[in-house]
Structure formats: C-alpha cells, structure tokens
Amino acid sequence: MLTINKQKNPKALVIWLHGLGADSSDFKGIVGMLNLPDIEFMLPNAPLRPITMNEGLSMRGWYDIKGTHKSLDFNYQDDAGLISSMKRIEDIIVERMRQLDKKTKIIIVGFSQGGALALYTGLSSEIKFDGIISLSGYQPKILNKDPIKKNIPILAMHGKHDDIIDVNIAKLSYKDNSPESFNFKIYEMGHELIDSQLLDIQKFLLGIKDYD
C-alpha cells in the first residue's frame, strides 16, 4: 500500500482504489497534482485473483468480472469478492483511524472497478463516509443499503466515449441515488482520467474537508 502526505492530524483521509490489473502506484502522480498537502491519501493494492473476463488469468482485482473488454456482463455480480474487498478496506480505515482524530473526514475514491468498489463500500459499510468519488465506474447492486447513507455526497465522473463501461450503463446504475447529494459529470474522453477532471476532484475534496 502507498501512503501520500502521511501526517499526525490530516484534515481528511482519502482511500483511493485503482482499477483492474493496476496497482497502488497508478494514481500516485494524480494525487500529487491535486496539491492537497493537508489531506492524507492511502492507496491500497487489490489482491491477486483469477479474472473470468481475462480467461481466468490472475491479476490484481477487487472482485471477479465476466464478459469481455467490449461487453462486460453486468447481470453477474461477484458479491463475495465485493464483500471481501470491502472488509479489506474497512480494516485499513479502522486501523488508521485509531491513530487519528475522530473528526477526520473519510472519503473513498476509485477508478473503474475501484470506482464500483468505492460506491459499494461507501453505501454498504458501517463506517461513516463523508464523500465518494467514482471515476469511470458504475454502482453495483447494493445488498444492504442504509437509508441514512443516501445523503452521502457522491461525485461520479464518466467519459462520453468510454468503450469499457458505457456511459449509459453507468447512468442506469446510478438511478436510485438522491439527486440532492449525487452529481454525475460527463467528459469528452474514453475510459481514462484527464487533466480537466482534476479541478473538479480537488473542489469536491476541499468541500468535504472544510465542511463542519
């Protein structure tokens, strides 16, 4: 796991989850470009696991996915994998929060498969999250969604030309979210993260960090 800006009293703790087949170093440069020195970022690694979509090859993945790169099977959901990875993230947060002020804001961010896990964890966990960002992701079926969590601020960002997770599939997965706390932004891009998103991410994180 990679930790950036580790400090005694951060204004916020951000858990940032990489996508399928990547690792914790994938967003190291992006975090640096956000220029938020009083926020601590923790970038964990997903476990190695066989991924059905990739012919069962083992790679870093938060849960299993079926289908192909051009046609993911969203009718299948690896609930066991999602729950296992959610618990992995919860353990990281609980251990770190033992050393921090209880008022420290907790935000979870993820890209692609990591974005799906960020939403799943933020809306399912007993941990109180103060914000969620999904980058080129989608919202899995939430098995035990707490009604209170409907008011968590969520920023979902997606590419108009995404050929991995179609923007319309992403939109459909978000349909049950409260419009008061949910913001969906579309960019002229594919399945990626581009510079024009950085200011929006920064504004969101600063808004959560500075809200009392």
Tell me the C-alpha distance between 27 and 140, whole Å: 23
What residues are paired with 133 via a beta bridge? 109, 155
Tell me the C-alpha distance between 189 and 162, whole Å: 7
Cα of 73 vs its chain's centroid, Å:
20
User: Is the separation of the CB atoms in 208 and 109 below 8 Å?
Assistant: no
3-class secondary-structure state, position 82: helix
Among 74, 84, 185, 49, residue whose Cα is nearest residue 140: 74
Tell me the C-alpha distance between 128 and 178, whole Å: 17
Q: Report strand pairing: 39-43 vs 2-4.
A: antiparallel
The phi, psi pair for 93, rounded to 5°, reads -65, -45
Kindly indicate whether the domain formed by 2-209 is annotated with CATH number 3.40.50.1820. yes
User: Is the separation of the CB atoms in 36 and 128 below 8 Å?
Assistant: no
pLDDT of residue 28: 96
pLDDT of residue 67: 76
Structural domain boundaries in the chain: 2-209
* Segments of the chain with pLDDT less than 70: 68-71, 145-150, 211-212
pLDDT of residue 124: 92
What residues are paired with 67 via a beta bridge? 72
Q: Which helix (H) or strand (E) is 203 found in, with range?
A: helix 198-209
Q: What letter does residue 159 receive in the DSSP assignment? A: E
Please tell me the chain's helix, strand, coil percentages from 3-state DSSP, rounded to the nearest 5.
35, 25, 40
pLDDT of residue 73: 75
pLDDT of residue 23: 96
CA distances, 58 to each of 46, 61, 190, 211 (Å): 12, 9, 25, 42
Residue 152, token pair as written in the block: 């968590």
Q: What letter does residue 44 receive in the DSSP assignment? A: P
Tell me the C-alpha distance between 18 and 207, whole Å: 23
Whole-model pTM: value is: 0.94
